[in-house]
Structure 1
Amino acid sequence: MPVEMSPERFEELVGEALDEVPVELMSLMNNVVFLVEDLPEGGGDDLLGLYEGTALTDRGWDYAGMLPDRITIYRLPTLKVCETEQDVVEEVAITVVHEIAHHFGIEEQRLHDLGWG
């Protein structure tokens, strides 16, 4: 049975997960914004997070004046796969790290190989 959690509490958990990311790593992130939404565009309920943008490893000399990259964490799909609030805390932390890794150019398969999939 999915966990019930208010949008406000879920956003707090995302903030707490971001607070756990080492300062040294966060300081390397450039032109990225974090968002929380209930569902992905189109309403799919199996996507927990999404990175949209140009990974740091793909940015060249001509990368300038771009809108921020977006990391979105989806509340309802996350709650759907969790049974307890502690499960949500852990899943949000994994999803945040997973999407940040995409910002640094780490591909999906490598994340799965490392256990962050």
Structure 2
Amino acid sequence: MSESEGDAKFWGPLSSPSLDDIEALAVEALEALPEPFRSMSRGIECRVAEFPTEEICKDMDIESPFDLMGLFEGVGLTDDGVIPHTGQFPNRVWLYRRPMLDYWAEHTDTLGEIVTHVLIHEIGHHFGLSDDDMYAIDDGLR
């Protein structure tokens, strides 16, 4: 048996991580957040989709849906988000599976590290955190 035949048998039964797999990694990341960040994040919904919608890409002037791995949707605490307004949707973070898998294939980070980084960055927008604040939290989890 050639080396490539052995590789084919190893890789053949494997499949890419599913939406549920990405969601499980996000749940792990949320549970690993340090306090008080973790408890303050409890009211934020986390959703996973294949890609951002065409409307989101258009609104954000993004050329390719592969260019966006996550999105915070809602009203941040620094934007009068403490008390929900009538008709206000819950704050949520969207994680986009295919862009994250594409990034994962081209870099050395684990998929869990990527999901955690994107999640922290997007939740950080809810709290009005700077990018430096978010990187410090992310670095503390590694």
Q: Where on the TM-score scale, by shorter chain, does this alignment land: which range?
A: 0.7 to 0.9
Which secondary structure state, in structure 1, belongs to the residue aligned with residue 71 of structure 2? strand
Structure 2 spans left out of the alignment, 5+ residues: 1-14, 55-63, 136-142
Measure how far apart 1:5 and its partner are.
1.4
Superposition misfits of 4+ residues, deviation over 6 angstroms: none
- 1:1-117 to 2 correspondences below 5 Å: 4-29=16-41, 31-42=43-54, 44-59=65-80, 63-65=84-86, 66-83=88-105, 87-106=110-129, 110-111=130-131, 113=132, 116=135
> Which structure carries more relative contact order (alpha carbon 8 Å, separation 6+)?
1
TM-score where L is the length of structure 1: 0.78
Q: Write the distance in 2 (CA, Å) between the matches of 1:34 and 1:69.
A: 9
Where structure 1 has 5 or more consecutive residues not aligned to the other structure, the ranges are none
Q: State which structure, 1 or 2, has the greater radius of gyration over its C-alpha atoms.
A: 2
In terms of fraction of residues, the more helix-rich structure is 2
Q: Percent identity?
A: 33
Equivalent residue pairs, number: 111
Q: Structure 2-normalised TM-score?
A: 0.65
Deviation at 1:28, TM superposition (A): 2.1
C-alpha root-mean-square deviation of aligned residues, in Å? Answer: 2.8
